[in-house]
Amino acid sequence: YCPDRIVKSDEFIITSTGNIISRKASIGDPRNLEIPSGKCFVDEGCAIASDVAPIQMNRYCFVEKNVRLQPCQTIKEPVTNIKMTIGANTYIGEGSHIQAARIGAGCIIGSNVTIGPRCILKDYVKIEDGSVVAADMVLPPFAIVSGNPARIRGEQPESTSTTVPICADDRYKSLKTV
């Protein structure tokens, strides 16, 4: 269950595909922010560095206040920028700084999390509040991660792949435009 969340239409841009993006969010190059399936939410204070490299957010991505999405670079010469991909049904908590190359479907990222450059999160990874994921980590599907430095502390149940999409849909439907 998600309590209703009021979205004031004068404070958010609501697109024809159902994306709800705060007017107080910063998007580097809107042409490089790809949301192919729509229905994503980006709250105020977010900084999306799509001027560095393209960022793709899939259906029902939910990005809370003051999150920074910053594509990273390769290590080897020639240095190139890496496209950031965020899978469907993913939640990113307030104040997090993300430099991952890929975030799988159904990932839950807590508040004030730092994910270092070039990380890969497989599907349904859960990262606890305040965790710091070191550069180049690859987190396996269903991992529960916490700490600084982040370590795998457990595994989510297989039912997560059924419940997370339902929760993501409920979270989006809880947004009430006024």
Tokens 């457990």 found at: 154
145 closest CA partner among 165, 125, 162: 125
Q: What distance in Å separates the CA atoms of residue 169 and residue 178, rounded to the nearest whole number?
A: 20
Helix (H) / strand (E) element for 85: namely strand 84-86
**Angle, vertex CA 113, rays to CA 73 and CA 134, nearest 5:** 50
- Alpha-helix runs per DSSP H in 94-173: 160-173
CA-to-CA separations, 67 to 49, 78, 117, 121, in angstroms, rounded: 11, 29, 15, 17
Q: What distance in Å separates the CA atoms of residue 111 and residue 52, rounded to the nearest whole number?
A: 24
Instruction: Lowest mean pLDDT of 1-5, 18-22, 104-108, 146-150, name the range.
Output: 1-5
Predicted TM-score of the model (pTM): 0.95
pLDDT digits (tens, 9 = 90+) for 84-139: 999 999 999 999 999 999 999 999 999 999 999 999 999 999 999 999 999 999 99
| Cβ pair 112, 130 in contact under 8 A | yes
pLDDT digits (tens, 9 = 90+) for 50-75: 999 999 999 999 999 999 999 998 88
**Angle, vertex CA 132, rays to CA 59 and CA 174, nearest 5:** 30
Q: What is the per-residue pLDDT for 1?
A: 63
**Taking the CA of residue 131 as centre, how many other CA atoms within 13 Å lie in the half-sphere pointing to its CB?**
24
Q: What distance in Å separates the CA atoms of residue 82 and residue 105, rounded to the nearest whole number?
A: 19
Query: What percentage of the chain carries pLDDT values higher than 70?
Result: 99
